[in-house]
Structure 1
Amino acid sequence: MSYRGDVGGDFSEDAPRPPVPGEEGREGGLFSGKTASHWSESLPATKRRTDADLGFEPEGSVSPGGPCEPWAETLLALLDDRDGTALFLHFLRTLGCSALLEFWFACSGFRKVPEDAKERRLKLAKAMYRCYLCDGVVSRRITAETRCGVRDGIRQLRLDSSLFAQAHAQVQAVLQDGLFPLFLRSDLYLKHTQTVEQLPGSRLPGYQTTPSQGEELEKETHPPHNAANQKRAGDQEC
Protein backbone atom coordinates (compact mmCIF):
# COMPACT_ATOMS: atom_id res chain seq x y z
CA MET A 1 0.00 0.00 0.00
CA SER A 2 1.28 3.46 -0.84
CA TYR A 3 0.56 6.71 0.95
CA ARG A 4 0.36 10.15 -0.50
CA GLY A 5 2.54 12.85 0.92
CA ASP A 6 1.26 15.73 -1.15
CA VAL A 7 0.27 18.18 1.57
CA GLY A 8 -0.63 21.10 -0.63
CA GLY A 9 -2.80 19.06 -2.96
CA ASP A 10 -4.95 17.57 -0.23
CA PHE A 11 -5.30 20.46 2.20
CA SER A 12 -8.14 22.38 0.56
CA GLU A 13 -9.77 25.27 2.36
CA ASP A 14 -13.23 23.77 1.88
CA ALA A 15 -12.41 20.49 3.58
CA PRO A 16 -14.00 19.81 6.98
CA ARG A 17 -12.02 19.99 10.20
CA PRO A 18 -11.46 17.14 12.65
CA PRO A 19 -14.00 16.95 15.47
CA VAL A 20 -13.42 18.59 18.82
CA PRO A 21 -12.40 15.98 21.43
CA GLY A 22 -15.63 14.42 22.62
CA GLU A 23 -17.74 16.74 20.44
CA GLU A 24 -18.14 14.82 17.20
CA GLY A 25 -20.99 16.39 15.26
CA ARG A 26 -21.25 19.49 17.45
CA GLU A 27 -20.98 22.98 16.07
CA GLY A 28 -18.21 25.28 17.20
CA GLY A 29 -14.52 25.13 17.92
CA LEU A 30 -13.30 26.70 14.72
CA PHE A 31 -10.61 29.28 14.36
CA SER A 32 -10.36 32.76 15.71
CA GLY A 33 -7.81 35.33 14.72
CA LYS A 34 -7.69 37.15 18.05
CA THR A 35 -4.21 37.58 19.37
CA ALA A 36 -3.25 36.95 22.98
CA SER A 37 -3.19 40.68 23.69
CA HIS A 38 -6.77 41.02 22.48
CA TRP A 39 -8.08 38.19 24.65
CA SER A 40 -7.62 40.02 27.93
CA GLU A 41 -8.55 43.43 26.54
CA SER A 42 -11.83 42.36 24.97
CA LEU A 43 -13.44 40.77 28.02
CA PRO A 44 -14.75 43.08 30.75
CA ALA A 45 -15.78 39.99 32.69
CA THR A 46 -12.17 38.94 33.14
CA LYS A 47 -10.62 42.24 34.20
CA ARG A 48 -8.42 42.21 37.28
CA ARG A 49 -10.13 42.47 40.65
CA THR A 50 -8.79 42.71 44.14
CA ASP A 51 -7.33 39.62 45.77
CA ALA A 52 -10.15 39.64 48.30
CA ASP A 53 -12.76 39.53 45.55
CA LEU A 54 -11.08 36.77 43.60
CA GLY A 55 -9.53 34.60 46.24
CA PHE A 56 -6.25 34.53 44.30
CA GLU A 57 -2.74 35.79 44.88
CA PRO A 58 -1.51 38.60 42.56
CA GLU A 59 0.36 36.13 40.35
CA GLY A 60 -2.85 34.23 39.66
CA SER A 61 -2.05 31.33 41.98
CA VAL A 62 -4.80 30.01 44.19
CA SER A 63 -4.91 31.30 47.73
CA PRO A 64 -4.65 28.47 50.30
CA GLY A 65 -7.69 29.78 52.16
CA GLY A 66 -9.85 30.56 49.16
CA PRO A 67 -12.21 28.36 47.16
CA CYS A 68 -10.29 26.10 44.82
CA GLU A 69 -10.84 23.04 42.68
CA PRO A 70 -8.03 20.45 42.94
CA TRP A 71 -7.58 20.64 39.18
CA ALA A 72 -6.97 24.41 39.34
CA GLU A 73 -3.46 23.98 40.74
CA THR A 74 -1.82 23.38 37.35
CA LEU A 75 -2.83 23.38 33.71
CA LEU A 76 -2.03 19.68 33.28
CA ALA A 77 -4.13 18.79 36.32
CA LEU A 78 -7.00 20.73 34.77
CA LEU A 79 -6.60 18.99 31.41
CA ASP A 80 -6.71 15.61 33.12
CA ASP A 81 -10.05 16.40 34.75
CA ARG A 82 -13.35 16.12 32.91
CA ASP A 83 -15.10 19.04 34.59
CA GLY A 84 -12.01 21.25 34.64
CA THR A 85 -11.47 20.72 30.93
CA ALA A 86 -15.12 21.49 30.17
CA LEU A 87 -15.08 24.73 32.14
CA PHE A 88 -11.77 25.84 30.62
CA LEU A 89 -13.04 25.06 27.13
CA HIS A 90 -16.18 27.09 27.83
CA PHE A 91 -13.97 29.99 28.93
CA LEU A 92 -11.79 29.76 25.81
CA ARG A 93 -14.89 29.87 23.63
CA THR A 94 -15.84 33.19 25.16
CA LEU A 95 -12.45 34.46 23.97
CA GLY A 96 -12.75 32.87 20.53
CA CYS A 97 -9.64 30.72 20.98
CA SER A 98 -10.96 27.26 21.83
CA ALA A 99 -9.06 25.89 18.82
CA LEU A 100 -5.89 26.05 20.94
CA LEU A 101 -7.25 23.49 23.37
CA GLU A 102 -8.73 21.41 20.57
CA PHE A 103 -5.33 21.27 18.91
CA TRP A 104 -3.63 20.36 22.20
CA PHE A 105 -5.90 17.33 22.56
CA ALA A 106 -5.53 16.46 18.87
CA CYS A 107 -1.74 16.32 19.31
CA SER A 108 -2.15 14.08 22.34
CA GLY A 109 -4.45 11.84 20.34
CA PHE A 110 -2.04 11.67 17.41
CA ARG A 111 0.66 10.27 19.69
CA LYS A 112 -1.68 7.44 20.69
CA VAL A 113 -2.25 6.23 17.15
CA PRO A 114 0.00 3.16 16.63
CA GLU A 115 3.02 4.02 14.51
CA ASP A 116 2.37 1.05 12.22
CA ALA A 117 -1.09 2.47 11.41
CA LYS A 118 0.43 4.69 8.75
CA GLU A 119 -2.76 5.35 6.83
CA ARG A 120 -4.57 6.53 9.97
CA ARG A 121 -1.61 8.69 10.99
CA LEU A 122 -1.36 10.25 7.54
CA LYS A 123 -5.07 11.02 7.38
CA LEU A 124 -5.08 12.56 10.86
CA ALA A 125 -1.86 14.54 10.33
CA LYS A 126 -3.20 16.07 7.12
CA ALA A 127 -6.49 17.00 8.77
CA MET A 128 -4.71 18.59 11.73
CA TYR A 129 -2.36 20.56 9.49
CA ARG A 130 -5.14 21.75 7.22
CA CYS A 131 -7.54 22.75 9.97
CA TYR A 132 -5.20 24.16 12.61
CA LEU A 133 -1.85 25.09 11.09
CA CYS A 134 -2.74 26.52 7.66
CA ASP A 135 -4.62 29.46 9.18
CA GLY A 136 -6.29 30.58 12.36
CA VAL A 137 -5.36 31.21 15.97
CA VAL A 138 -3.21 28.08 16.36
CA SER A 139 -1.09 28.89 13.32
CA ARG A 140 -0.38 32.33 14.78
CA ARG A 141 0.76 31.00 18.13
CA ILE A 142 3.47 28.68 16.81
CA THR A 143 6.63 29.59 14.92
CA ALA A 144 6.89 29.48 11.14
CA GLU A 145 9.77 27.02 11.52
CA THR A 146 7.56 24.65 13.51
CA ARG A 147 4.71 24.92 11.04
CA CYS A 148 7.00 24.24 8.09
CA GLY A 149 8.55 21.31 9.94
CA VAL A 150 5.14 19.67 10.31
CA ARG A 151 4.33 20.30 6.66
CA ASP A 152 7.62 18.81 5.48
CA GLY A 153 7.23 15.85 7.80
CA ILE A 154 3.86 15.02 6.27
CA ARG A 155 5.17 15.41 2.73
CA GLN A 156 8.08 13.11 3.49
CA LEU A 157 5.84 10.66 5.38
CA ARG A 158 7.81 11.12 8.62
CA LEU A 159 4.75 10.38 10.72
CA ASP A 160 6.32 9.34 14.03
CA SER A 161 5.06 10.59 17.37
CA SER A 162 7.37 13.62 17.31
CA LEU A 163 5.68 15.15 14.24
CA PHE A 164 3.58 17.62 16.26
CA ALA A 165 5.79 17.69 19.37
CA GLN A 166 7.08 21.25 18.96
CA ALA A 167 3.68 22.65 17.99
CA HIS A 168 2.14 20.83 20.94
CA ALA A 169 4.68 22.33 23.34
CA GLN A 170 4.29 25.86 21.95
CA VAL A 171 0.50 25.77 22.23
CA GLN A 172 0.76 24.36 25.74
CA ALA A 173 3.01 27.30 26.67
CA VAL A 174 0.36 29.75 25.40
CA LEU A 175 -2.29 28.00 27.47
CA GLN A 176 -0.07 27.71 30.54
CA ASP A 177 1.48 31.17 30.60
CA GLY A 178 -1.39 33.29 29.31
CA LEU A 179 -4.82 31.73 29.21
CA PHE A 180 -4.75 29.50 32.29
CA PRO A 181 -3.92 32.38 34.70
CA LEU A 182 -6.55 34.52 32.95
CA PHE A 183 -9.07 31.73 33.45
CA LEU A 184 -8.29 31.55 37.19
CA ARG A 185 -9.03 35.28 37.47
CA SER A 186 -12.23 35.13 35.44
CA ASP A 187 -15.79 35.63 36.62
CA LEU A 188 -16.60 32.21 35.16
CA TYR A 189 -14.17 30.41 37.46
CA LEU A 190 -15.12 32.57 40.44
CA LYS A 191 -18.78 31.77 39.92
CA HIS A 192 -17.94 28.09 39.61
CA THR A 193 -16.01 28.00 42.88
CA GLN A 194 -18.81 29.84 44.67
CA THR A 195 -21.36 27.39 43.30
CA VAL A 196 -19.29 24.38 44.33
CA GLU A 197 -18.74 25.86 47.77
CA GLN A 198 -22.47 26.37 48.30
CA LEU A 199 -23.67 23.18 46.62
CA PRO A 200 -20.99 20.46 46.63
CA GLY A 201 -21.23 18.24 43.59
CA SER A 202 -23.07 20.86 41.56
CA ARG A 203 -22.14 21.97 38.06
CA LEU A 204 -22.57 25.30 36.36
CA PRO A 205 -25.27 25.40 33.68
CA GLY A 206 -24.26 26.41 30.19
CA TYR A 207 -21.37 24.06 29.55
CA GLN A 208 -21.09 20.35 28.95
CA THR A 209 -18.49 17.96 30.20
CA THR A 210 -16.06 16.43 27.75
CA PRO A 211 -14.36 13.03 27.95
CA SER A 212 -11.24 12.92 30.06
CA GLN A 213 -7.93 13.08 28.27
CA GLY A 214 -7.45 9.32 28.55
CA GLU A 215 -10.85 8.58 27.03
CA GLU A 216 -10.35 10.97 24.13
CA LEU A 217 -6.96 9.60 23.14
CA GLU A 218 -8.46 6.21 22.38
CA LYS A 219 -10.92 7.63 19.84
CA GLU A 220 -10.52 7.71 16.08
CA THR A 221 -10.65 11.22 14.63
CA HIS A 222 -12.81 11.78 11.54
CA PRO A 223 -13.82 15.12 10.00
CA PRO A 224 -17.59 15.56 10.35
CA HIS A 225 -19.47 15.87 7.07
CA ASN A 226 -21.72 18.66 8.31
CA ALA A 227 -19.01 21.04 9.55
CA ALA A 228 -17.32 22.87 6.70
CA ASN A 229 -14.03 24.56 7.42
CA GLN A 230 -15.60 27.96 8.00
CA LYS A 231 -14.98 30.55 10.68
CA ARG A 232 -17.75 31.06 13.20
CA ALA A 233 -19.67 34.30 13.33
CA GLY A 234 -17.85 36.60 15.70
CA ASP A 235 -14.38 35.23 14.97
CA GLN A 236 -11.99 37.94 13.89
CA GLU A 237 -8.76 38.04 11.95
CA CYS A 238 -5.57 39.31 13.56
Structure 2
Amino acid sequence: MEALLFLFPQFNYMAPKEEVYFKILGPEDLQAPTMKDDSSRQKDKERKSRLSLFLTKSGSHENVSPNKKTNTTTNISPETALQWSDSFEELLKHSDGVESFSQFLRTEFSEENIEFWLACEEYKTIDSDTKLLSKARCIYTVYIDSDAPKEINIDYNTKADIQKVIAKPTKSCFEAAQLIVYNLMKKDSYPRFLHSDIYLRLTRRKGPGTNMFRRRSRSCVFNDRGEATTEPSAW
Protein backbone atom coordinates (compact mmCIF):
# COMPACT_ATOMS: atom_id res chain seq x y z
CA MET A 1 0.00 0.00 0.00
CA GLU A 2 2.77 2.44 0.89
CA ALA A 3 4.55 1.61 -2.34
CA LEU A 4 1.39 2.32 -4.34
CA LEU A 5 0.88 5.62 -2.56
CA PHE A 6 4.45 6.54 -3.34
CA LEU A 7 4.01 5.73 -7.01
CA PHE A 8 0.58 7.38 -7.21
CA PRO A 9 0.46 10.19 -4.61
CA GLN A 10 -2.52 11.72 -6.40
CA PHE A 11 -4.61 8.60 -5.84
CA ASN A 12 -7.37 8.83 -3.25
CA TYR A 13 -8.67 5.41 -2.27
CA MET A 14 -11.90 6.87 -0.90
CA ALA A 15 -12.73 8.86 -4.05
CA PRO A 16 -15.29 7.72 -6.64
CA LYS A 17 -13.67 5.67 -9.38
CA GLU A 18 -14.48 8.28 -12.06
CA GLU A 19 -12.54 10.87 -10.04
CA VAL A 20 -9.68 8.43 -9.60
CA TYR A 21 -9.37 7.87 -13.34
CA PHE A 22 -9.46 11.59 -14.04
CA LYS A 23 -6.70 12.33 -11.52
CA ILE A 24 -4.42 9.60 -12.86
CA LEU A 25 -4.99 10.30 -16.54
CA GLY A 26 -5.06 14.08 -16.28
CA PRO A 27 -7.64 16.51 -17.66
CA GLU A 28 -6.10 16.61 -21.13
CA ASP A 29 -6.98 12.93 -21.61
CA LEU A 30 -10.67 13.74 -21.18
CA GLN A 31 -10.89 16.12 -24.10
CA ALA A 32 -12.53 15.03 -27.32
CA PRO A 33 -10.10 13.00 -29.46
CA THR A 34 -7.94 15.29 -31.60
CA MET A 35 -4.80 15.05 -33.69
CA LYS A 36 -1.73 15.02 -31.47
CA ASP A 37 1.96 15.28 -32.11
CA ASP A 38 4.38 12.47 -31.30
CA SER A 39 5.38 13.88 -27.90
CA SER A 40 1.74 14.23 -26.79
CA ARG A 41 0.92 10.70 -27.90
CA GLN A 42 3.95 9.39 -26.03
CA LYS A 43 2.85 11.16 -22.85
CA ASP A 44 -0.66 9.73 -23.24
CA LYS A 45 0.74 6.23 -23.63
CA GLU A 46 2.91 6.65 -20.54
CA ARG A 47 -0.04 7.82 -18.41
CA LYS A 48 -2.32 5.03 -19.62
CA SER A 49 0.44 2.47 -19.19
CA ARG A 50 0.81 3.52 -15.55
CA LEU A 51 -2.93 3.23 -15.06
CA SER A 52 -3.05 -0.15 -16.80
CA LEU A 53 -0.18 -1.41 -14.63
CA PHE A 54 -1.91 -0.18 -11.49
CA LEU A 55 -5.22 -1.82 -12.41
CA THR A 56 -3.48 -5.09 -13.24
CA LYS A 57 -1.43 -5.15 -10.03
CA SER A 58 -4.47 -4.31 -7.91
CA GLY A 59 -6.48 -7.12 -9.45
CA SER A 60 -8.77 -5.02 -11.68
CA HIS A 61 -10.22 -1.61 -11.05
CA GLU A 62 -13.18 -2.76 -8.98
CA ASN A 63 -10.77 -2.64 -6.02
CA VAL A 64 -10.81 1.14 -6.30
CA SER A 65 -14.28 1.30 -4.79
CA PRO A 66 -14.29 1.04 -0.97
CA ASN A 67 -17.94 -0.03 -1.16
CA LYS A 68 -17.24 -3.16 -3.18
CA LYS A 69 -18.99 -6.19 -1.70
CA THR A 70 -16.85 -9.06 -0.54
CA ASN A 71 -17.79 -12.72 -0.04
CA THR A 72 -21.19 -12.00 -1.55
CA THR A 73 -21.71 -15.61 -2.58
CA THR A 74 -21.49 -17.14 0.89
CA ASN A 75 -25.21 -16.87 1.64
CA ILE A 76 -26.59 -17.82 -1.76
CA SER A 77 -28.96 -20.78 -1.63
CA PRO A 78 -28.73 -23.54 -4.28
CA GLU A 79 -32.31 -22.78 -5.30
CA THR A 80 -31.42 -19.16 -5.99
CA ALA A 81 -28.31 -20.10 -7.95
CA LEU A 82 -30.28 -22.58 -10.02
CA GLN A 83 -32.58 -19.78 -11.18
CA TRP A 84 -29.61 -18.21 -12.96
CA SER A 85 -29.47 -21.19 -15.34
CA ASP A 86 -32.87 -20.26 -16.82
CA SER A 87 -31.31 -17.57 -18.99
CA PHE A 88 -28.57 -14.98 -19.09
CA GLU A 89 -31.24 -12.32 -18.60
CA GLU A 90 -32.32 -14.02 -15.37
CA LEU A 91 -28.73 -14.08 -14.13
CA LEU A 92 -28.37 -10.32 -14.65
CA LYS A 93 -31.54 -9.65 -12.62
CA HIS A 94 -29.79 -10.88 -9.45
CA SER A 95 -26.99 -8.82 -7.89
CA ASP A 96 -25.44 -12.00 -6.48
CA GLY A 97 -25.66 -13.56 -9.93
CA VAL A 98 -23.81 -10.61 -11.45
CA GLU A 99 -21.14 -10.78 -8.74
CA SER A 100 -20.68 -14.56 -9.21
CA PHE A 101 -20.50 -14.13 -12.97
CA SER A 102 -17.96 -11.34 -12.50
CA GLN A 103 -15.82 -13.64 -10.37
CA PHE A 104 -15.90 -16.20 -13.17
CA LEU A 105 -14.93 -13.64 -15.81
CA ARG A 106 -11.96 -12.61 -13.67
CA THR A 107 -10.69 -16.19 -13.89
CA GLU A 108 -10.82 -15.84 -17.68
CA PHE A 109 -9.29 -12.34 -17.67
CA SER A 110 -12.38 -10.87 -19.35
CA GLU A 111 -13.97 -8.98 -16.46
CA GLU A 112 -13.89 -5.80 -18.54
CA ASN A 113 -16.98 -7.07 -20.39
CA ILE A 114 -19.33 -7.13 -17.42
CA GLU A 115 -17.77 -3.96 -15.99
CA PHE A 116 -18.38 -2.12 -19.27
CA TRP A 117 -21.95 -3.42 -19.48
CA LEU A 118 -22.69 -2.30 -15.92
CA ALA A 119 -21.08 1.09 -16.58
CA CYS A 120 -23.36 1.54 -19.59
CA GLU A 121 -26.43 0.58 -17.56
CA GLU A 122 -25.50 3.22 -14.98
CA TYR A 123 -24.72 5.73 -17.73
CA LYS A 124 -28.25 5.46 -19.17
CA THR A 125 -29.77 6.48 -15.83
CA ILE A 126 -27.88 9.81 -15.60
CA ASP A 127 -30.04 12.91 -16.02
CA SER A 128 -27.45 15.67 -15.55
CA ASP A 129 -25.77 16.76 -18.80
CA THR A 130 -22.57 17.54 -16.92
CA LYS A 131 -22.46 14.11 -15.28
CA LEU A 132 -23.39 12.47 -18.57
CA LEU A 133 -20.40 14.06 -20.29
CA SER A 134 -18.08 13.15 -17.41
CA LYS A 135 -19.26 9.53 -17.33
CA ALA A 136 -19.12 9.17 -21.13
CA ARG A 137 -15.51 10.34 -21.24
CA CYS A 138 -14.62 8.02 -18.38
CA ILE A 139 -16.17 5.03 -20.19
CA TYR A 140 -14.42 5.99 -23.40
CA THR A 141 -11.03 6.39 -21.70
CA VAL A 142 -11.22 3.14 -19.74
CA TYR A 143 -12.96 0.80 -22.20
CA ILE A 144 -13.09 2.20 -25.75
CA ASP A 145 -9.91 4.14 -26.54
CA SER A 146 -7.22 2.20 -28.41
CA ASP A 147 -4.91 2.69 -25.41
CA ALA A 148 -7.63 1.95 -22.84
CA PRO A 149 -6.40 -0.09 -19.85
CA LYS A 150 -9.49 -2.32 -20.06
CA GLU A 151 -10.26 -2.12 -23.77
CA ILE A 152 -13.28 -4.16 -24.87
CA ASN A 153 -13.36 -6.14 -28.10
CA ILE A 154 -15.57 -4.22 -30.53
CA ASP A 155 -15.29 -3.61 -34.26
CA TYR A 156 -13.63 -0.56 -35.80
CA ASN A 157 -16.84 1.05 -37.09
CA THR A 158 -18.55 0.89 -33.70
CA LYS A 159 -15.53 2.42 -32.03
CA ALA A 160 -15.31 5.15 -34.69
CA ASP A 161 -18.99 6.03 -34.24
CA ILE A 162 -18.44 6.52 -30.50
CA GLN A 163 -15.35 8.61 -31.10
CA LYS A 164 -17.33 10.98 -33.35
CA VAL A 165 -19.89 11.84 -30.67
CA ILE A 166 -17.87 11.59 -27.46
CA ALA A 167 -17.43 15.38 -27.28
CA LYS A 168 -21.23 15.72 -27.10
CA PRO A 169 -22.43 12.29 -25.98
CA THR A 170 -26.03 11.11 -25.96
CA LYS A 171 -27.59 8.47 -23.73
CA SER A 172 -27.55 6.03 -26.64
CA CYS A 173 -23.96 6.55 -27.80
CA PHE A 174 -22.71 3.30 -26.19
CA GLU A 175 -25.72 1.12 -27.06
CA ALA A 176 -24.16 -0.58 -30.10
CA ALA A 177 -20.97 -1.42 -28.19
CA GLN A 178 -22.97 -2.57 -25.17
CA LEU A 179 -25.04 -4.93 -27.35
CA ILE A 180 -21.89 -6.44 -28.86
CA VAL A 181 -20.43 -7.10 -25.41
CA TYR A 182 -23.77 -8.40 -24.11
CA ASN A 183 -24.06 -10.96 -26.92
CA LEU A 184 -20.45 -12.00 -26.42
CA MET A 185 -21.06 -12.71 -22.75
CA LYS A 186 -24.39 -14.43 -23.41
CA LYS A 187 -23.21 -16.73 -26.18
CA ASP A 188 -19.63 -17.35 -25.09
CA SER A 189 -19.02 -16.73 -21.38
CA TYR A 190 -22.41 -17.58 -19.87
CA PRO A 191 -22.52 -21.25 -21.01
CA ARG A 192 -19.03 -21.80 -19.60
CA PHE A 193 -20.04 -20.10 -16.35
CA LEU A 194 -22.86 -22.64 -15.88
CA HIS A 195 -20.27 -25.44 -15.99
CA SER A 196 -17.63 -23.64 -13.92
CA ASP A 197 -16.51 -24.63 -10.44
CA ILE A 198 -17.69 -21.25 -9.15
CA TYR A 199 -21.27 -21.92 -10.22
CA LEU A 200 -21.37 -25.63 -9.44
CA ARG A 201 -20.17 -24.99 -5.89
CA LEU A 202 -23.18 -22.72 -5.37
CA THR A 203 -25.63 -25.34 -6.60
CA ARG A 204 -24.15 -28.01 -4.31
CA ARG A 205 -24.16 -26.03 -1.07
CA LYS A 206 -26.53 -28.49 0.63
CA GLY A 207 -23.87 -31.18 0.35
CA PRO A 208 -23.41 -34.45 -1.58
CA GLY A 209 -26.45 -36.69 -1.79
CA THR A 210 -28.97 -33.94 -1.11
CA ASN A 211 -31.92 -33.99 -3.47
CA MET A 212 -32.07 -30.92 -5.67
CA PHE A 213 -35.05 -29.99 -7.79
CA ARG A 214 -34.57 -30.24 -11.55
CA ARG A 215 -34.55 -27.06 -13.53
CA ARG A 216 -34.34 -26.99 -17.30
CA SER A 217 -32.06 -24.43 -18.89
CA ARG A 218 -31.08 -23.39 -22.37
CA SER A 219 -27.58 -24.56 -21.52
CA CYS A 220 -27.87 -27.41 -19.03
CA VAL A 221 -30.03 -29.31 -16.55
CA PHE A 222 -29.17 -30.43 -13.04
CA ASN A 223 -29.54 -34.00 -11.85
CA ASP A 224 -30.55 -35.12 -8.34
CA ARG A 225 -26.98 -34.67 -7.10
CA GLY A 226 -26.87 -31.08 -8.32
CA GLU A 227 -24.49 -31.93 -11.17
CA ALA A 228 -24.77 -30.02 -14.42
CA THR A 229 -25.25 -32.16 -17.54
CA THR A 230 -25.65 -30.97 -21.10
CA GLU A 231 -28.89 -31.73 -22.86
CA PRO A 232 -30.39 -30.70 -26.22
CA SER A 233 -32.13 -27.37 -25.97
CA ALA A 234 -35.91 -27.46 -25.54
CA TRP A 235 -36.23 -24.32 -27.63
Q: Scaled by the length of structure 1, what TM-score is found?
A: 0.55
Displacement after TM superposition at 1:83 (Å): 1.2
Residue 180 of structure 1 corresponds to: 190
Structure 2 partner of 1:221: none
Q: Structure 2 matches for 1:146-225, cutoff 5 A? A: 146-155=158-167, 157=168, 159-195=169-205
Residues 137 and 130 of structure 1, relative CA distance in 2, 3 Å threshold: closer
Deviation at 1:73, TM superposition (A): 1.3
Alpha carbons of structure 1 residues 93 and 125: separation in structure 2 relative to 1, 3 Å: same
Secondary structure of the structure 2 residue equivalent to 1:195: coil
Cα displacement (A) at 1:5: 5.5
Distance 1:23 1:68 in 2: 28
Q: CA RMSD, aligned part only? A: 3.5
The answer to whether the Cα contact below 8 Å between 1:103 and 1:132 also exists between their aligned partners in 2 is yes
Q: For residues 111 and 140 of structure 1, do their structure 2 counterparts lie closer, same or farther at Cα, with a shift above 3 Å needed? A: closer
Q: Within 5 A, what are the aligned runs for 1:14-163?
A: 14=47, 24-25=65-66, 69-114=82-127, 117-135=128-146, 139=151, 141-155=153-167, 157=168, 159-163=169-173
In structure 2, distance between residues paired with 1:197 and 1:72:
19
Alignment partners' CA distance in 2, 1:122 and 1:88: 29
1:197-220 superposed Cα distances (whole Å, 9 cap, x missing partner): 67x9xxxxxxxxxxxxxxxxxxxx
Q: 1:181 to 1:137 in 2, by over 3 A?
A: farther
Instruction: Please give the per-residue CA displacement for 1:23-81, whole angstroms capped at 9, x wherever unaligned.
Output: 62489xxxxxxxxxxxxxxxxxxxxxxxxxxxxxxxxxxxxxx9962122111211110
- Secondary structure of the 1:6 match is coil
2:94 & 2:122 partners in 1: Cα distance? 16
Question: Residue type matched to 1:145 in 2?
Answer: N
1:77-107 CA distance string (max 9 Å, x none): 1111011111101100011110100000001
User: Normalising to structure 2: TM-score of the pair?
Assistant: 0.56
Deviations along 1:84-132, one digit per CA (max 9) or x if unpaired, are 1111011000111101000000011111011xx2211111111111111
2:5 alignment counterpart: none
* Range moving further from structure 2, 71-80 or 16-25: 16-25
Mapped partners of 1:147, 1:83: distance in 2: 31
Counterpart contact for 1:7–1:151, Cα < 8 Å:
yes
- Counterpart CA distance in 1 for 2:94 and 2:83 is 9
* Unaligned ranges ≥5, structure 1: 28-65, 201-238
Output the amino acid matched with 1:170: I
Q: Which has the higher helix share?
A: 2
**Structure with bigger RCO (C-alpha 8 Å, 6+ apart):** 1
Question: 2-side partners of 1:109 and 1:140: how far apart?
Answer: 17
Separation in structure 1 between the aligned mates of residue 182 and residue 86 of structure 2, nearest angstrom: 16
Q: Which has the larger radius of gyration?
A: 2
Q: Aligned AA for 2:129? A: K
Identical-residue share of aligned pairs (%) = 22
Aligned partners of 2:149 and 2:89: how far apart in 1?
Answer: 21
